[in-house]
Structure 1
């Protein structure tokens, strides 16, 4: 009888200890979350994406200044999600996970991805990107839907190139850039 009581007490203590540490994380979990960003501009977008990159929410910012919206994520499936504020030259991201209808943010700081800057002037194409993460930049240039150049730029925190296109080849061009598991496309005409 004494052995059974001792085992029961030890088991109860272990469960109490496990619940105590589980509840530390769950204390920060909430059903509703207020998402806030400062210095937003009209026309920027806020998207919520699941772990596979599928957009489950997308909204265009209507006013410049501060943005604040309360979300109820309790209906989302369990998993990791990302809130992304898509700005002119950067994407600001914050990751969170949903478990049993409760939301917990993974860290307190925002992650930033800098977008490439693509500019066409006459027959010159300028491509640049801040790459503090040292990720390569794959550039493909198309002329009338046919690829005419493909290059991967790497090495350094600032990636940049100037491409001189033929003045004799007048028509529709497209540049496709891939980096940070994202793609960017710009159409232009010479």
Structure 2
């Protein structure tokens, strides 16, 4: 009786291991070493960047033609890990994530992540800042006048983050605004 139980357990364990191996092989058949990256409605001057999980750029290229973008990449030489293809557009960044394991690439999900960039404008003595924030990420704003910080503020709490700053009539000269959100930094220099 005890021998029958041991044989039954061994058969069950063997079946589980076989099924696990078959499932792993199926996943690898879906993964490829070369991948076609496609984006619709790109403009000349947009940039395509590929970054690793640490944020280091492994590829960067400026789009040369407007329209639809398509290019086949060979990612088989990349180290194992998570990577992101980023299309940096005028007002947004579109991100597609993928995973490389043993030279084979699998996309993590079929959805593109979008990060909306802040819009920074000046009108006379006014500085206008707005950003769409569907993910409720706060917006950190630091304003410099002649390399001296004159304002630092965190804006949060809404899907549309907006501020209007009235600049001093007496402080005419060079300004810089640095905005941080979604682990990214945006810088704009201007003069009034």
Q: Same fold (TM over 0.5)?
A: yes
2:51 counterpart (45, 49, 52)? 49
Residue pairs, 1:10-159, within 5 angstroms? 10-159=12-161
- SS of 1:167's partner is coil
Note if 1:175 corresponds to 2:177.
yes
Show CA shifts across 1:54-77 (max 9, x none). Answer: 110000000000000000000000
Instruction: State how far apart, in whole Å, the 1-side matches of 2:9 and 2:161 are.
Output: 64
Runs of 4+ in 1 over 2 A off after TM superposition: 1-15
Q: How far apart are 1:25 and its partner, in Å? A: 2.1
Q: Which moved more, 1:173-182 or 1:22-31?
A: 22-31
Instruction: State how far apart, in whole Å, the 2-side matches of 1:130 and 1:116 are.
Output: 7
Q: How far apart are 1:24 and its partner, in Å? A: 3.0
What is the TM-score of this pair, normalised by structure 2? 0.93
- SS of 1:98's partner is strand
Q: Which moved more, 1:97-106 or 1:115-124?
A: 115-124
Show CA shifts across 1:43-92 (max 9, x none). Answer: 00000000001110000000000000000000000000000000000000
Aligned residues: 190
Q: CA RMSD in A?
A: 1.7
Instruction: State how far apart, in whole Å, the 2-side matches of 1:179 and 1:45 are.
Output: 19
**Unaligned runs of at least 5 residues, structure 1:** none
Instruction: State how far apart, in whole Å, the 2-side matches of 1:161 and 1:68 are.
Output: 38
Note if 1:186 corresponds to 2:188.
yes
**Unaligned runs of at least 5 residues, structure 2:** none
Instruction: State how far apart, in whole Å, the 2-side matches of 1:12 and 1:133 are.
Output: 46
